[in-house]
Amino acid sequence: MTTVPTTKLQKVLADAGLGSRRALEKWIQAGRVKIDGETASLGDRVSSHQAISVDGREVVHGEVTAPRILIMNKALGTEVSRKSATGRKTVFSELPNLQTGRWISVGRLDVGTTGLLLFTNHGELAHKLMHPSTNIDREYAVRVRSLIDDETRETMLRGVVLDGVTCRFTDIQYFDGRGSNHWYHVCLMEGRNREVRRLFESQQILVSRLKRVRFGPFVLRNFIPAGRVFEIHADEVNAVCKMLDMPLRARSHTRERSDGKVRSSLLPYPNLDLPNWYSEDF
């Protein structure tokens, strides 16, 4: 008897560029997804012969979206949501239109945090970039009102229990400052809700400004103004997919500069094979 190969429903939907796994799970729970006309359930698997629909629209099974990645320099006061309940400007209003699928934010930044925010049109890629198992760190520039003493620094590196979960920085480096304004760069492996601010607050230190400057190999370059987006070159998208063990191939949607060079927003990173043309001279 021949066994028909099946795939997790969330993966099929994510590969079609419909959203992140977490968002798609909510769609399934809400009854928006059907398999062969029947309402789907979490944990369902599907074969290539079955019909899948979301909100009544057919999903082409097996059609893998060519991955794209955008970097935004998120502006202060903007929300990482598709619609704002308070009338604030949202980051999605600044993104280019897609012919199919939708842009997915790789994690979130709160309204008061600025800096690097990633978007992709590929749900499985978004899932991989966010998942703790990939060991991708995040780096933030933090402005505080006073210098951090050695004891406080060691406490935040060792870990602080917040809501039953141990949170910690993997690195804390003094960057610059004068008077009552001092900048530090901190790194951590996960981006839980307000984790950077809460770690500092646990030590009675108020964060006056917070900006994400790096997400794994992605770095926020000076050529990306606040509120604007920059698309990663296809060669670099492919390099990131290879680093994550994802057999995906990107198609170029970027333009070269007038001097023929390609701008990059990547840095050397473990297991990342940068393109031959890569240069940090921008």
Report residue 255's pLDDT band, with 50, 70 and 90 as the boundaries: low
The strand pairing partners of 166, in sequence order, are: 161
Total Cβ atoms within 10 A of residue 178: 7
* Each residue's pLDDT tens digit, 6-34: 888 888 888 777 777 788 888 899 999 99
The strand pairing partners of 231, in sequence order, are: 70
Tokens 């799970």 -> residue: 25
* Each residue's pLDDT tens digit, 164-177: 999 999 999 999 98
* Each residue's pLDDT tens digit, 118-169: 999 988 899 899 988 999 999 999 999 989 999 999 999 999 999 999 999 9
More confident residue, 263 or 101: 263
Question: Which of 215, 230, 260 lies at the terminal end of a domain, its last residue?
Answer: 215
What helix, strand, coil percent values describe the chain, rounded to 5? 20, 25, 50
Residue 198 φ then ψ, to 5°: -70, -35
Q: Is 34 inside a domain boundary?
A: yes
* Each residue's pLDDT tens digit, 23-70: 888 889 999 999 888 999 998 998 877 888 888 887 766 666 789 999
Smallest CA-to-CA distance from 246 within 22, 67, 111 is with 67
Q: Is 234 inside a domain boundary?
A: no
pLDDT of residue 80: 92
Averaged pLDDT, 87-108 = 88
Do the beta carbons of residue 64 and residue 15 sit within 8 Å?
yes
Question: 137 an active-site residue?
Answer: no
pLDDT of residue 82: 84
Q: Is 249 inside a domain boundary?
A: no
Q: Is 171 inside a domain boundary?
A: yes
Q: Is 129 inside a domain boundary?
A: no
Is residue 258 pLDDT above 60, yes or no? no
The strand pairing partners of 188, in sequence order, are: 138
Tally of domains in the chain: 2
pLDDT of residue 257: 54
Question: Which of 37, 59, 81 lies at the terminal end of a domain, its last residue?
Answer: 59
Do the beta carbons of residue 46 and residue 7 sit within 8 Å?
yes
Question: Which segments within 88-170 are labelled E, that is strand?
Answer: 104-106, 114-120, 138-144, 160-162, 165-167
Tokens 């990131």 -> residue: 240
Percentage of the chain exceeding pLDDT 70: 93
Instruction: Provide the residue count of the chain.
Output: 282
Question: Which of 215, 233, 256 lies at the terminal end of a domain, its last residue?
Answer: 215
Total Cβ atoms within 10 A of residue 80: 18
- Specify the CATH number for the domain of residue 55: 3.10.290.10
- Specify the CATH number for the domain of residue 185: 3.30.2350.10
Amino acid at 26: K
Is residue 2 pLDDT above 60, yes or no? no
What distance in Å separates the CA atoms of residue 2 and residue 27, rounded to the nearest whole number? 32
Name the 3-class secondary structure at 172. Answer: strand
Amino acid at 58: E
Name the 3-class secondary structure at 243. Answer: helix
Range of the domain at 194: 137-215
* Each residue's pLDDT tens digit, 181-224: 999 999 999 878 899 999 999 999 999 999 999 999 999 999 99
Alpha helix segments (H runs only) across the chain = 9-15, 21-29, 123-130, 150-158, 195-201, 234-243
pLDDT of residue 60: 66
Is residue 1 pLDDT above 50, yes or no? no
Q: Is 100 inside a domain boundary?
A: no
The residue annotated as part of the active site, out of 44, 55, 110, 273, is: 110
